[in-house]
Structures are given as structure tokens and as C-alpha cells.
Structure 1
């Protein structure tokens, strides 16, 4: 399915990479909030640095899978989505009337800065 996709961001091996990235983002133990951040690059590989884009890619894959595979992957993604919503904070300044993607919950969370921990800005 990945090899036959016409979507730019769906390429061979992307489902496994996206799932790994989504799990990695959510995996640090503890209850501290997690903050998604934008990718520095928009190419197919680097864009997976942004966990919100990762979730978009998983959505693209899910829409093209046959029913049984879609159900299996959908359950896994839904469980990760639940953890994502628990571990990230809602952005109180998001204007839901003007969103470019109405109803996409993973974009309505507070963002972080990938360089905040290193002091590089």
C-alpha cells in the first residue's frame, strides 16, 4: 500500500517510522506534559520530527488500508491518541473558528521549542 500511494508523505516504511515516532514522543515516563514542535524541514523524512504531522501521516495511511488492517491499526492509533491528549496541554489561544484544519485535535495543543532544553534559539 505504501509503495503504491500517490501521497507525497506516504512512502515505503513510513507507517512503521510514524508509529515509532508517535510512541517515542509519548514514552518518557512520568506525568510531565509533552510539547510537540515544528520540524525544521518539510521533506518527507524530516517532517516526521513533528508528531502532529506524524499523526496526519497515520491518518493518510489509515484511509487507504483495507478494512481489517484499518481496524487493527486504527485501534493502535486511537490508544496513542488518548495518551497524546493526556500528555499534552490544550492551547487556550487557538481560535477554533479560524483554524485551517477544523476539529484536528492534535494541532490544538501547546507547542514547545526543540531548542529550549539546549538554550539555542
Structure 2
């Protein structure tokens, strides 16, 4: 991403300085970089289909093991960023989203989950195990 977009992301994260990893509205210093890193790491796994996994750890970034939570952070940043930084980050996220849709399956029982009303990335199949 461009230097301007990186600077805008850092400014946006600082503007949400009352938050820290895992709390508040999801943005903290370095949250977008961490979310992108976890999203890409998830998609680098081998295999045709991937199952999302639940996060379970006291570590501040542990919630990002669940790629849906990482995607939530990116969505928050997309809403907070000004144009054209929003568009630039949006193009990166759109490529990752396309691969996530391709490599995960929809959860036919998502309506039973607490967050069934969430965005599409929360309605993908999970493996049912807690990992971190």
C-alpha cells in the first residue's frame, strides 16, 4: 500500500486510542497490519477448503486467529478511513475476501449462532475446535 494509505491507517488507529487489542471498537495501534497478517496467514494454509477456527487465548491478538474477527477489524478501518485510502485498502481486502469465499463453505446452521446476523464472513463453517 502507498505511504499515504499507511499514514492514514496509523492516524485512524490512533484516533481510536481509547481501545486496545481485543476491546472497544476493534481498532488499536497496529490492528490493521495485524488483521491483514492473520487474514493472509489463514489463506496460506494448504488444502482446497478451509474451516475457520475459534480464538481462545489471553493474548491480545488471539481474537484474530478467528479470521472473521480479523475481517471485522478491516471493515471497521474501511468505514473510518477517508478516500482514496479506503479504496486502496478496499482493493486489498476484496482480493482476500474473494479467496476466503472460494476456500471456505457457508455454514447452513449459521442462524443458530449468536452472531448469525453478522456479516457474511461470520457465516462460514468453523472447525469446532478452539485453537491459538
Pairing partner for 1:104 from 97, 104, 119: 119
Q: Which residue of 1 aligns with 2:30?
A: 13
Q: TM-score, normalised by structure 2?
A: 0.74
Task: Report the number of matched residues.
Answer: 113
> CA shift at 1:18, angstroms?
0.6
Question: What is the root-mean-square deviation of aligned Cα atoms in Å?
Answer: 2.2
Partners of 2:115 and 2:38 in 1: CA distance: 24
Partners of 1:103 and 1:38 in 2: CA distance: 16
If each structure's strand is expressed as a fraction of its own residues, which one has the higher value? 2
Name which of structure 1's ranges 82-91 and 21-30 shifts more when overlaid on structure 2: 21-30
Partners of 1:66 and 1:26 in 2: CA distance: 27
Partners of 1:68 and 1:42 in 2: CA distance: 36
Partners of 1:17 and 1:47 in 2: CA distance: 11
Partners of 2:115 and 2:68 in 1: CA distance: 14
Q: TM-score, normalised by structure 1?
A: 0.81
Structure 1 residue ranges without an equivalent (≥5): 116-121
Q: Give the SS at the match of 1:38.
A: strand
Structure 2 residue ranges without an equivalent (≥5): 1-11
Partners of 1:68 and 1:86 in 2: CA distance: 27
